[in-house]
């Protein structure tokens, strides 16, 4: 292991330089204008896998963007770890809020990252994190210390719902067969308190439409006499959550997991600092469901949020209209044992029920995903915990994240393998936001921890 660590230390700068090349590719899967960049990024990822020592590297076509596959089978009697990551990134908008162009990576020191952080779209989500695995694999290959088999699957549609991944996995069960899945697309609680993620929330995502008059109307001629769809939609959204932070949808909490008092006590051992939390996001106060801590609200409780709302005239200057339609996008984070199908159906029925007779409403489901929990007494969790404790030199605690990675439950269902969520980012890394960044300390700790995980899991 020391030889592997020596190789990592000797090549740190090259690892960062190569990551920069990857970050310069604007692989935005949500925008067709960047199609060629996404395809180019897949090819570059494949080349990195080949250079690191992977065999049978392929850029596999799908109905959408390709999936990059590679493997190293050293002994079929040894366990196999499947590493998952995604090479697509979120759109960079709004561009004017970036301090420097989002696809021109640079390093800057910050209060949380005194050693420096890599600023660029995709630095933490997920190029910087999956690239740790490629470089850790390279280090094990170069020092002849790879203790088990490894396979890689890198997709280009995670940021748009992993549209093609399910079909690919179902059609390639043998190719992807493994004993566990290793994912770095989550964060730790802090650099002082490292954690392994043991739970993710699921997701139900919908778009709603409220239609009033059959055309946009002059607000002077019609104002005060007809329903304004923006006003109606705003009231409807406001009524989805009551004054106690409780979601009002009929039956919404029917299948919510009841977390035991002992488990709640254990998770709250993480030092929840409300003042630091508020300061980090520029707020003077927090809110949420009554009876739960901030940690619990953001992890073990389901939520509902309006992600966007629009209608009428939003251009320069003034246009005095009552719009014909108003729209919103709404996401609901789910916990065990809720399902996206159940929650989407309940939302639709309730939204239609609370709509006034003066308007028509339409609910269009988008993507969703199941919640996921990895018990903290499993060999997969313990291998990750021990690896990170060795690398960080500190106790590692289990941590439930509020985010969603819908493919984890699909992997377990189709491949019969548990997913280990060993991420190294921080929740302050501004993923999906301007000035996304990833600490050099975290990047290097990830590369150091991954070979230790392989070693522990192989034993």
Please state, in angstroms and rounded to a whole number, the distance separating the CA atoms of residues 19 and 21: 5
Q: Which residue, among 424, 420, 405, 410, has the nearest Cα to 453 in the 3D structure? A: 420
In a domain, 411, yes or no: yes
Sign of CA dihedral 447, 453, 456, 459: negative
Whether residues 29 and 81 share a domain: the answer is yes
pLDDT grade for 305, boundaries at 50, 70 and 90: very high
In a domain, 276, yes or no: no
Whether residues 312 and 383 share a domain: the answer is no
Whether residues 135 and 211 share a domain: the answer is no
Whether residues 213 and 357 share a domain: the answer is yes
In a domain, 392, yes or no: yes
pLDDT tens digit sequence for 395-407: 999 988 888 888 9
Examine the pLDDT at 272 and tell me if it is beyond 70. no
Q: Which two tokens stand for residue 42?
A: 């897949």
Q: Which two tokens stand for residue 132?
A: 């740790």
Residues sharing a CB contact under 8 Å with residue 431, sequence separation 6 or more, in sequence order: 90, 124, 125, 425
Examine the pLDDT at 1 and tell me if it is beyond 90. no
Whether residues 92 and 160 share a domain: the answer is yes
Residue 49, SS3 per DSSP: helix
State the average pLDDT over residues 407-412.
92
Question: Which 3-state string (H, E, C) describes 74-123?
Answer: CCCCCCEEEEEEECCECCCCCHHHCCCCCCCCEEECCCCCCCCEEECCCC
Structural domain total, the chain: 2
Radius of gyration from C-alpha coordinates of the chain: 23
Domain of 344 in residue numbering reads as 202-256+302-369
Please state, in angstroms and rounded to a whole number, the distance separating the CA atoms of residues 454 and 459: 9
In a domain, 273, yes or no: no
Q: Which two tokens stand for residue 423?
A: 């991420």
Task: Report pLDDT for 215.
Answer: 96
Whether residues 365 and 375 share a domain: the answer is no
pLDDT tens digit sequence for 276-299: 778 778 888 888 999 999 889 999
In a domain, 287, yes or no: no
Residue 361, SS3 per DSSP: strand
Whether residues 346 and 384 share a domain: the answer is no
Whether residues 121 and 225 share a domain: the answer is no
State the average pLDDT over residues 236-258.
97
Examine the pLDDT at 247 and tell me if it is beyond 70. yes
State the average pLDDT over residues 401-418.
91
pLDDT tens digit sequence for 187-211: 999 999 999 999 999 999 999 999 9
Share of the chain above pLDDT 70, in %: 99
DSSP code of residue 230: H
Burial of 432-450, coded b for 16+ CB within 10 Å and e otherwise, reads eebbbbbbbbbbbbbbbbb
Task: Report pLDDT for 367.
Answer: 82
Task: Report pLDDT for 40.
Answer: 98
pLDDT grade for 263, boundaries at 50, 70 and 90: confident
Task: Report pLDDT for 280.
Answer: 76
Q: Are 50 and 57 in contact (CB under 8 A)?
A: yes
In a domain, 250, yes or no: yes
State the average pLDDT over residues 113-126.
98
Please state, in angstroms and rounded to a whole number, the distance separating the CA atoms of residues 377 and 374: 9
Residue 394, SS3 per DSSP: coil
Whether residues 193 and 209 share a domain: the answer is no
Q: Are 322 and 219 in contact (CB under 8 A)?
A: yes
In a domain, 264, yes or no: no
pLDDT grade for 375, boundaries at 50, 70 and 90: confident
Residues sharing a CB contact under 8 Å with residue 279, sequence separation 6 or more, in sequence order: none
* Average pLDDT over the chain, rounded to an integer: 95
pLDDT grade for 269, boundaries at 50, 70 and 90: confident
Residues sharing a CB contact under 8 Å with residue 62, sequence separation 6 or more, in sequence order: 157, 164, 165, 167, 168
Task: Report pLDDT for 376.
Answer: 87
Task: Report pLDDT for 275.
Answer: 73
DSSP code of residue 32: G
Whether residues 87 and 234 share a domain: the answer is no
pLDDT grade for 177, boundaries at 50, 70 and 90: very high
Residue 58, SS3 per DSSP: strand
State the average pLDDT over residues 58-77.
98
Task: Report pLDDT for 428.
Answer: 93
Residues sharing a CB contact under 8 Å with residue 238, sequence separation 6 or more, in sequence order: none
Q: Which two tokens stand for residue 388?
A: 């990170």
In a domain, 118, yes or no: yes
Given 369, 400, 425, the domain boundary residue is 369
Given 315, 336, 369, the domain boundary residue is 369
Given 369, 393, 428, the domain boundary residue is 369
Whether residues 331 and 389 share a domain: the answer is no
**pTM for this entry:** 0.86
State the average pLDDT over residues 367-378.
89
Whether residues 105 and 240 share a domain: the answer is no
């Amino acid at each position: 292991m020391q030889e592997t660590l020596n190789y990592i230390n000797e090549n740190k700068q090259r690892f960062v330089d190569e990551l920069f090349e990857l970050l310069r590719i604007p692989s935005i899967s949500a925008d067709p204008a960047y199609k060629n960049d996404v395809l180019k990024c897949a090819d570059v990822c494949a080349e990195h896998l080949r250079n690191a020592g992977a065999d049978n590297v392929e850029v596999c076509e799908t109905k959408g963007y390709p999936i990059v596959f590679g493997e190293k089978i050293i002994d079929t009697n040894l366990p196999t770890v499947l590493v998952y990551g995604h090479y697509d990134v979120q759109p960079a908008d709004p561009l004017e809020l970036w301090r420097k162009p989002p696809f021109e990576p640079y390093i800057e020191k910050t209060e949380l990252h005194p050693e420096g952080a890599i600023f660029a779209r995709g630095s933490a989500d997920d190029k910087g994190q999956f690239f740790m695995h490629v470089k850790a694999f390279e280090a094990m290959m170069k020092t002849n210390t790879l203790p088990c088999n490894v396979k890689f699957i890198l997709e280009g549609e995670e940021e748009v719902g992993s549209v093609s991944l399910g079909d690919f996995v179902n059609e390639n069960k043998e190719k992807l067969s493994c004993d566990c899945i290793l994912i770095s697309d989550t964060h730790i609680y802090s650099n002082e308190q490292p954690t392994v993620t043991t739970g993710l929330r699921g997701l139900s995502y919908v778009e709603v439409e409220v239609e009033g008059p059959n055309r946009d109307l002059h607000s002077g001629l019609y104002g005060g006499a007809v329903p304004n769809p923006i006003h109606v939609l705003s009231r409807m959204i406001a009524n989805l959550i009551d004054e106690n932070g409780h979601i009002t949808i009929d039956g919404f909490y029917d299948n919510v997991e009841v977390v035991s008092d002992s488990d709640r006590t254990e998770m709250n051992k993480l030092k929840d600092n409300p003042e630091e939390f508020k300061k980090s996001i520029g707020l003077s106060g927090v809110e949420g469901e009554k009876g739960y801590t901030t940690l619990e609200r953001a992890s073990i409780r389901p939520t509902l949020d309006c992600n966007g709302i629009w209608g009428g005239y939003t251009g320069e200057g003034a246009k005095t209209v009552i719009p014909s339609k108003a729209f919103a996008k709404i996401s609901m984070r789910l916990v065990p044992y809720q399902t996206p199908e159940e929650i989407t159906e309940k939302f639709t029925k309730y939204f239609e029920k609370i709509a006034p007779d003066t308007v028509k409403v339409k609910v269009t489901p988008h993507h969703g995903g199941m919640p996921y929990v990895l018990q903290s007494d499993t060999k997969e969790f313990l291998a990750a915990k021990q690896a990170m404790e060795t690398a960080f030199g500190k106790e590692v605690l289990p941590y439930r994240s509020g985010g969603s990675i819908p493919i984890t439950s699909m992997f377990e269902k189709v491949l019969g393998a548990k997913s280990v969520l060993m991420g190294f980012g921080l929740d302050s890394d501004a993923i999906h936001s301007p000035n996304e960044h990833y600490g050099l300390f975290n990047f290097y700790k990830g590369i150091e921890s991954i070979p230790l995980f392989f070693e522990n899991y192989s034993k």
